[in-house]
Amino acid sequence: MDLKNKEIQDSFDFEARKHKEFFLPFYEKRGWKVLKDMVGIKNFPWDVFVETGEFKFTIDEKARKKKEFKDFLIELVQDLKNPKKSWFHEESTNYIFYASWLDPEKPEPSSAYLVNMRLLRTWVWKNIEVLPLRISKKGHGITLFTFTSCENLIALRYAEKII
């Protein structure tokens, strides 16, 4: 396995581990019932379908490590060579649970945000001409993305800081 594929696999493995160590226990502590757990199902648009008692919704879990990330990356096109829409376009995803670990060995993240995808999508398309666009070759091909600060999403009331 080459270095790039190893990094991608390490990211997937980290997210799967944090799903068990942090995300699932977090839902349980909040009294949220996980109706479907799709982690590990390749190319599935969300990770869990939960019920809070009043509401049912889907969550895509994002786990980042080794740094405190105050930005929220929004992947617009997964690979420009083979144009494929990214998670951002997936209408069946209601929320992104975005967490960062300074110490990847700790079960709880150093920060975590719950982002409303419907509100985020509307805001991105309304502001696409002024948002910074970047290209990365780190992940699945050549990825087009934009970003904003997590604090901006909170100020807009599109996100809640959990931790």
Confidence band for 2, pLDDT divided at 50, 70 and 90? low
Q: Which residues pair with 71 in a beta bridge?
A: 149
Strands 143-149 and 56-65: unpaired
Q: Which residues pair with 99 in a beta bridge?
A: 63, 112
Contact 116, 123 (CB under 8 A): no
Find the domain containing 101 and state its range. Answer: 3-161
Count of beta carbons in the 10 Å neighbourhood of residue 126: 10
Determine if the pTM surpasses 0.75.
yes
Confidence band for 162, pLDDT divided at 50, 70 and 90? very high
- pLDDT tens by residue, 62-104: 999 877 767 899 999 988 988 778 889 999 999 999 999 999 9
- pLDDT tens by residue, 98-125: 999 999 999 999 999 999 999 999 999 9
Confidence band for 1, pLDDT divided at 50, 70 and 90? low
CATH number of residue 20's parent domain: 3.40.1350
Domain count, the chain: 1
From 30, 16, 18, 34, select the one nearest 109 (Cα to Cα): 18
The pLDDT score that the predictor gives to residue 35 is 98
Query: Is the pLDDT reported for residue 42 higher than 90?
Result: no
